Amino acid sequence: MLEVLQNIFTAQNAISGILLGGLFAVLGVGMTIIFGIVKLTNLAHGEFVILGAFCSTLISQALDIDPILTLIITIPLMFIIGMVLQSVLINRVMLQGSEPALLVTFGLSIILQDAMLLLFSADARKMNPSYAQSNISLPGGLYIPVLDLILLIISLVTILVLTLFLRRTYMGRAIRATSDDIVAASLMGVSIKKAYAVAMGIAMATAAVAGLCVGMRWTFYPSSGGEYLLRAFGVVVIGGMGSIPGALVGGLVFGLAQVFGGASYGLLASYVVLIIMLAVRPQGLFSK
């Protein structure tokens, strides 16, 4: 009997880890895009995710709609904000090198955190849809939380759409060419600044999706950005900088490590895996 219970516990942990890993993957995919294309570590990524969470929460409450439907508004909104930030601010600073651009994203993270604190107060927020506590029963006493399954599907669809965009569209191929060789891409008529702006817009759009997932899964505050920046960074390092499939695999590894580590040592187990990866394969599982 003890062995049966142990097997069920392990199988349930595996299910929970995979579901959580999908959420971590969408957290890291926006960061890996910016690093792979713009060659910039966006230190404001966590604050962008929390901004997306606040936007989804407020729109859902104001319009009395399911939080998932808010993506119709938040994705285009965050995409435009990302393009404007890259075009007006970061592109100009990048002419002076990568270090000033890195400091600009750090400054943006502080500004966004303080602005959200002033606008939304320090109160905890969380979206609670009607299906948040529902489960799907499986044979053997296993179950799948409906909310986690929906968030996994959203994450996988986001990564699939992003992959198809980069592979099948002209702008996607231009962005990939810019990532491979800036000089060759510019000689072929690609506008580097436009490619960077679109890449930042895409990263912000994925941050809107990640913000929705975070807001539906966990309680968040204006100061929660640093926590999710670290998780996104862990996913990107494990999967490989600049690799979208790597972000998916890295998210799954990070999620499984956290679940099997338990409530007390979950985060510790995740970061131990991160340290081991840095020591054994610093370029990540899917190095670009």
Q: What is the mean pLDDT of the chain?
A: 88
Report how far apart the first and last C-alpha atoms of the chain are (Å, whole number): 47
Q: What percent of the chain has pLDDT over 70?
A: 95
User: Which residue segment(s) compose the domain that 258 sits in?
Assistant: 224-288
| Residue range 177-193: mean pLDDT, rounded | 84
- The verdict on residue 106 lying in a domain is no
Residue 85 — pLDDT band, cuts 50, 70, 90?
very high
| Residue range 157-178: mean pLDDT, rounded | 90
- The verdict on residue 280 lying in a domain is yes
Maximum distance among all alpha carbons in the chain? Answer: 68
Residue 216 has what pLDDT? 94
For residue 277, pLDDT beyond 90? no
Q: Please name which of 218, 189, 216, 172 lies closest in space to residue 37, comparing C-alpha atoms.
A: 172
Count how many domains the chain has. 1
- The verdict on residue 161 lying in a domain is no
Contacts of 131 (CB under 8 A, 6+ apart): 146, 147, 150
| Residue range 173-185: mean pLDDT, rounded | 85
Q: What percent of the chain has pLDDT over 90?
A: 44
At CB < 8 A and 24+ separation, what contacts does 106-111 make?
Answer: 106/43, 106/44, 108/43, 108/44, 108/47, 109/43, 109/44, 109/46, 109/47, 109/225, 109/229
User: In a 3-state reduction of DSSP, which class is residue 108?
Assistant: helix
For residue 181, pLDDT beyond 50? yes
Q: Please name which of 276, 269, 255, 274 lies closest in space to residue 13, comparing C-alpha atoms.
A: 255
Structure tokens at 118: 């002033």
Residue 2 has what pLDDT? 44
Q: How far is CA 175 from CA 41, 151, 163, in A?
A: 17, 28, 12
- The verdict on residue 183 lying in a domain is no
- The verdict on residue 144 lying in a domain is no
DSSP 132-186: TT-EEE-GGG-EEEHHHHHHHHHHHHHHHHHHHHHHHSHHHHHHHHHHH-HHHHH
For residue 100, pLDDT beyond 70? yes
Give 218's DSSP letter: S
Residue 264 — pLDDT band, cuts 50, 70, 90?
confident
| Residue range 93-121: mean pLDDT, rounded | 87
Residue 69 — pLDDT band, cuts 50, 70, 90?
very high
- The verdict on residue 254 lying in a domain is yes
CB-based burial label for 133 (10 Å; 0-12, 13-18, 19+): exposed
| Residue range 26-52: mean pLDDT, rounded | 90
Q: How many C-beta neighbours within 10 Å does residue 128 have? A: 11
Residue 155 — pLDDT band, cuts 50, 70, 90?
very high
Lowest mean pLDDT among 42-56, 113-127, 179-193, 209-223: 179-193
Whether 55 contacts 70, CB under 8 Å: yes
Residue holding tokens 């131990």? 272
Contacts of 155 (CB under 8 A, 6+ apart): 22, 23, 25, 26, 209, 213, 251
Residue 8 has what pLDDT? 45
Greater pLDDT, 95 or 92: 92
Cα–Cα distance between 256 and 131 in angstroms, integer?
Answer: 24
For residue 86, pLDDT beyond 70? yes
- The verdict on residue 275 lying in a domain is yes
Q: Report the DSSP pairing between strands 143-145 and 135-137.
A: antiparallel
- The verdict on residue 266 lying in a domain is yes
pTM, whole model, 2 decimals?
0.91
Residue 129 — pLDDT band, cuts 50, 70, 90?
confident
Residue 5 has what pLDDT? 43
Residue 9 has what pLDDT? 55
Helix (H) or strand (E) run with residue 282 in it: none
Residue 58 has what pLDDT? 94
Q: How many C-beta neighbours within 10 Å does residue 24 have? A: 30
